[in-house]
Amino acid sequence: MTSILLTGFEPFDGETVNPSWQAVLRAQALWDGPEDVHIAEIPVDFEACDRALTDALDRFRPDLVIAVGQAGGRPGISVERVAINVDDARIPDNAGFQPVDAPIVPDGPAAYFSTLPIKACVEALTQAGIPASVSQTAGTYTCNHVFYRLMHTLQADRPDARGGFVHIPYAPEQAAARDQPSMSVEMAALALLAIVRTSLDVAVDTRAPGGALH
């Protein structure tokens, strides 16, 4: 049976919630397909997140992996295109560690592209009335770190598996005090389900504009 892994992050930077984990939990509860959907919470810790991701990949042996993170300030779902081989943390992680200009994998490739059908996913979300776009950067914090580590591991150990990363906005309770865009956890979970289904169904990505001018 097809195995799917969804990951989300624990809260960080003084927050009490992380909508990425809340949305992953809700998506698993809503899934009604024949495939097995597994979930894992990833620590916002540059060292511990590698172990948590590797443990989940070893345990569930997924055919499809979608890692999810919070991108406060973004107005919609961001389906990430590329992970880069650098940690450059603007703030310390939850363990107090703050790497600067450090490679994630020494001597690893400069970048990995998502193997999800990213433009078909954005198209599916837009058709469902969920704001979404292709993103050209997953940042240089733990989200990008996990994205890069995921793609590096899949290429080495499970080359037939597909993987990628999705950013979601703040939850409404986070955004209220910041005057920032937000998205309900329920909508974010529905977006993840649409991305999962599209990734399972679409073998060759849609050819459509999705780039950025800056």
| Residue 20: its H or E element | helix 19-30
* 167 in catalytic set: yes
Distance CA 5, CA 120 (A): 20
Q: Give the Å distances, CA to CA, from 123 to 174, 183, 191, 204.
A: 27, 18, 11, 14
* 80 in catalytic set: yes
* 214 in catalytic set: no
Instruction: Indicate the SS3 state at residue 183.
Output: coil
Catalytic residue among 10, 49, 80, 145: 80
Residue 58 contacts by C-beta under 8 Å, 6 or more apart in sequence?
none
Task: Fill in the DSSP letter of residue 38.
Answer: E
Residue appearing with tokens 């059908």:
117
Catalytic sites, residue numbers: 80, 143, 167
